[in-house]
Copies of this chain bind each other. A is one copy, B any other.
């Protein structure tokens, strides 16, 4: 056998090894992989055989350095330990995979500063594009992204007034229509349990939706009792108990998400309250938990998986075409279950 056909052992084969074995140049091997229709079929076969026999696979770092593209998309989410993100991100990842992209994830723990740091990290790591949750962040972050020419897409929120590429739903409008339902049932003392709204526009918009519902019904939006607490069943329960110690107990408690709502529900049951007769409770997101709760939860359904898919498609399209893809507003709908009494007879 020809001396030149030998290949180092105990080492990862590289492009040059494939070229040597196939008896072609490295450029040709590269073309076989990236521009398949620019090579003759016979050459292609030789190269592919060499690739198989060596078990070659390209070094992505080198490829990224040379081509200035990583085929990697970054996502920064508050936490994966939350069904609403987990499901959407799973769909996002599946969709990316169809296009040969890999997902790089980081989490911000709902902290604005940490999110900014993660954005810089993923950028340095060469993410071709970024998925971000919600709109709220410092202007300098958007400027940084623009300067770096890194397409960023906002998900889990859609606001027609914002210029940013987005795939999501209108938190404000969805919550407002749920509030309208609650008000139609005669509730006048309403309270909200919400995640901290400081750097969370989704949570903020939902509360604003309730307030606007109140205003439309001729009520004072400032009279709305609001408790902010972190995302957990326990916290939801505790907040509910606090509400029940108030002088004027609310007759309906609208929660910013299903987890808080289930916590409220749990506390209510433990206090011996009948749901929805004594108090009505509503959620948001429609995660699995909602339908199996002791009293099935009335909540706002959000198409998480479709959102993840659309987000991936919009980003891939942007990368392929070089032009910012289209924003996409997804519909939400109210799931009436057991925690909100039926409307009064007409």
Known A59-B65, A289-B288, A292-B289: A102·B90 in contact at CB below 8 Å: no
Is A83 positioned at the interface, with any CB of B under 8 Å from its CB? yes
- Interface residues of A toward B: which range? 35 or more
Is A94 positioned at the interface, with any CB of B under 8 Å from its CB? yes
Q: Which of A102, A103, A120, A266 has the most CB of B within 10 A?
A: A102
The interface stretch among A123-131, A153-161, A323-331 is A123-131
**In this complex, what residue of B is CB-closest to A83?**
B83
Q: Are A104 and B103 in contact (CB under 8 A)?
A: yes
Q: Are A124 and B58 in contact (CB under 8 A)?
A: yes
**In this complex, what residue of B is CB-closest to A304?**
B81
CB distance from A129 to the nearest CB of B (A): 15
Alpha-carbon distance A72/B122, docked complex (angstroms): 11
Instruction: Collect the chain B residues with CB atoms within 8 Å of residue A98's CB.
Output: none
Alpha-carbon distance A93/B122, docked complex (angstroms): 14
Is A57 positioned at the interface, with any CB of B under 8 Å from its CB? yes
A-B contact pairs, 7 of them (CB 8 A): A61-B62, A62-B65, A102-B104, A102-B121, A102-B122, A103-B105, A292-B293
Q: Are A266 and B289 in contact (CB under 8 A)?
A: no
CB distance from A247 to the nearest CB of B (A): 30
**In this complex, what residue of B is CB-closest to A56?**
B124
Instruction: Collect the chain B residues with CB atoms within 8 Å of residue A124's CB.
Output: 57-60
Option from B64, B103, B104, B107 in Cβ contact (under 8 Å) with A90:
B107
Option from B81, B93, B104 in Cβ contact (under 8 Å) with A87:
B81
Option from B65, B107, B120, B289 in Cβ contact (under 8 Å) with A94:
B107
The chain A residues found within 8 Å of chain B, CB to CB, are: 12, 57-62, 64-65, 70, 72, 79-83, 86-87, 89-91, 93-94, 97, 102-107, 109, 120-126, 148, 233, 259, 262, 265-266, 288-289, 291-294
Q: Which of A80, A87, A126, A265 has the most CB of B within 10 A?
A: A80
Instruction: Collect the chain B residues with CB atoms within 8 Å of residue A293's CB.
Output: 292, 294
**In this complex, what residue of B is CB-closest to A80?**
B90
CB distance from A333 to the nearest CB of B (A): 20
Q: Are A126 and B292 in contact (CB under 8 A)?
A: no
Q: Which of A91, A122, A125 has the most CB of B within 10 A?
A: A125
